[in-house]
Structure 1
Amino acid sequence: MGHINNKYYLGFEGEPEIIFTVVQKNNEKSEISIWSGYFNNIMQQITPVEGKWTALAYYYNLNIGWYDESPWLVDNIEDAYKQFKSIDKYKLDDLEEEILEEILELFKKSIEENNNVYISYE
């Protein structure tokens, strides 16, 4: 069993949902469920690199990856972490900033512990 944090999806049941799942080496899972509107606002703060989308923003902006297959393995956690880290949190509202911090912590811990991170779109 694992831990599911659905705090950022409560009240939006029935609307699109993004779920980040961390799978630890012992197959223990922890998840964070986010209303897609919050996730979209956060992702829209990531800017292209030299005019091109890279890493997680590439998949988001082309509507591929987790949109095609769920759960979808994030293939380069470090680059995704750097993209989230580059976001100007002052362009987000308080709740979106809190969600960004949760995502950053999830990716940072996954990097440190060499865990896999999956994204699901439901």
Structure 2
Amino acid sequence: MDKIIDFYTGYEGEPEIIFYFENAEDKHVQLKVWIGHFDAIMVAIEPTPNGWNGLSRYYHTDTGWVEESPWKIPDLDEALHNIQHADNAKLDHTALLVYHNLCELLHQAKIMNQNVWIEYS
């Protein structure tokens, strides 16, 4: 049985991002997100003194899931650290819910030593 958290319904026809991994019980854990909510999160992350890192680097350089889907997040620790540094004050209510669910998904995958994949369509 799949566990699906849906922040895409109502935006059909617009770009969608799906984050997912498989847990120990062979269940798929998915977070379906409208691109606008994800854009809001990425805009709320400031670059480090060394530039963009984590998922924000791939987002701002149009690489990774934009070029290849599904795409495996290469460094889950870096991605989680990067996402956790978003300025929550810049997020509306729904983007904040997406943010919390994305952090939880990445954290759970890290604990379970699983790869996280991103599908973009």
User: What TM-score does the superposition give when structure 1 sets the normalisation length?
Assistant: 0.92
Match of 1:35 in 2: 34
> Would the aligned equivalents of 1:17 and 1:34 in 2 still touch at CA under 8 Å?
yes
**Could you say which residue in structure 1 is the equivalent of 2:80?**
81
| Partner in structure 1 of residue 108 of structure 2 | 109
Secondary structure, counterpart of 1:83 in structure 2: helix
Tell me, in whole angstroms, the C-alpha distance in 2 between the residues paired with 1:88 and 1:55.
15
Letter in 1 for 2:53: T
**How far did 1:27 drift?**
4.1
Which secondary structure does the structure 2 equivalent of 1:10 belong to? coil
| 2:1 maps to 1:20 | no
AA partner of residue 110 (structure 1): A
2:5 is matched with 5
| 1:63 matched residue in structure 2 | 62
Across the two proteins, how many residue pairs are aligned to each other?
121
Aligned identity (percent) is 34
Question: What CA distance in whole angstroms lies between the structure 2 residues aligned with 1:62 and 1:26?
Answer: 35
In structure 2, runs of 5+ residues without a counterpart are none
User: What's the CA shift for 1:26?
Assistant: 5.2
Listed one character per residue, the Cα deviations across residues 22-80 of structure 1 (whole Å, up to 9, x for unaligned) are 12355431111100011001111111111411121111111110011111000111111
Residue ranges of structure 1 left out of the alignment (5+ in a row) = none
* Residue number in structure 2 paired with 1:118: 117
Secondary structure of residue in 1 paired with 2:49: coil
* Aligned twin of 2:53: 54
Alpha-carbon distance between aligned partners in 2 of 1:41 and 1:95, rounded to the nearest angstrom: 10
Partners in 2 of 1:43 and 1:27 — Cα distance? 30
Taking the aligned partners of 1:111 and 1:51, their CA distance within structure 2 comes to 25
* Aligned-residue CA RMSD (Å): 1.3
How far apart, CA to CA, are the structure 2 residues paired with 1:28 and 1:9? 20
